[in-house]
Amino acid sequence: MNVDADVRRAIQAATVGELAWLDRGGLPQARPVTPLLLGERPAVAFPYAEAPVARGLAAAPVVALVVSDDRLTGRGWRPVAVTGRPRLTEDRDGALFAEQLLDQELRKYPPARALIDSPLLRREHWWYLPRLIVALDVVTTTTVGARVGGAGEVLAVARDDRELYVDSVTRPEHEEGEAVRVRSLGARPPANGPAVLLGHDFSAPDLERWTPWTIRGGLTDGVLAVTAAPARAALAPPLGLWRRLIRQRRLARACRAALDGQGGHHHPLP
């Protein structure tokens, strides 16, 4: 199933998105991502530092990409979720990424500009061009409610029929504890099963700092029986030059290690 033009425009206009999937144990997982389009298919392009996540996604029976956060969106945006089968492309020389996805990432994810915004930078930071690209062969498209100003969270549920249910939801302000009520922002009926709530905050417009949080449990009739609720981390303060350098070095080291472990030395694109 090809996604229609309106859905493609919505993904193209979204700066941030949420990815949800079922892991090998059948439990829902979720994380924030930069939503891209590979041709007509929704996609996410992971640097090799995140190879385990990308390969885990590729093994999932179903994956959903949600665009629900209306911050930093462009014309044509609307909240929507697409669900389908993942297909992994190991773009080890970065050629596919450079040809079809580079401009999208530079526009949506400002930290990438310090690494790959010119031919000179791309040669210097060659390790950031190789990508594990996970694209979706879309099966279903669902309208969800908008998370205005980033409020609310994305809900992912592993239903009894082993299908993945996703929605954008809100819960009573400051409600915490062993039982949390969730309400669909799009007035959709809830699903029951193992569930995860994903929220995230970021510094705008630079996205230099991006902090997610998750709450896990079992959802029954709109009430989440919480089993794990890590303390929500506040958005980190602005990074100084030294911390930026340290972060970049760690990313470079992780990308190079993953690439070297998969076939030896790699060279930058010409």
Q: Which residue's structure tokens are 């640097």?
A: 47
**Model pLDDT, residue 185:** 97
Is residue 252 in a domain? no
Domain assignment present for residue 237? The answer is no
Query: Could you tell me if residue 257 is inside a domain?
Result: no
Residue 176 φ then ψ, to 5°: -140, 180
The pLDDT of residue 160: 83
Tell whether 269 is covered by a domain. no
H or E element, residue 223: strand 223-228
125: phi then psi, degrees, rounded to nearest 5: -110, 50
Q: Answer whether residue 208 is part of any domain.
A: yes
pLDDT tens, N- to C-terminus, the chain (270 residues) = 667 999 999 999 999 999 999 998 999 999 999 999 999 999 999 999 999 999 999 999 999 999 999 999 999 999 999 999 999 999 999 999 999 999 999 999 999 999 999 999 999 999 999 999 999 999 999 999 999 999 999 999 999 878 899 999 998 865 566 889 999 999 999 899 999 999 999 999 999 999 999 999 999 999 999 998 876 667 878 888 888 899 999 999 999 999 998 644 444 443
**Contact of 46 with 132, CB cutoff 8 Å:** yes
- In a domain, residue 260? The reply is no
Sheet holding 131-143, edge to edge: 28-33, 17-22, 63-67, 80-91, 131-143, 41-47, 36-38
| CATH assignment at residue 185 | 2.30.110.10
Domain assignment of residue 262, yes or no: no
**Owning domain of residue 120:** 5-228
Domain count, the chain: 1
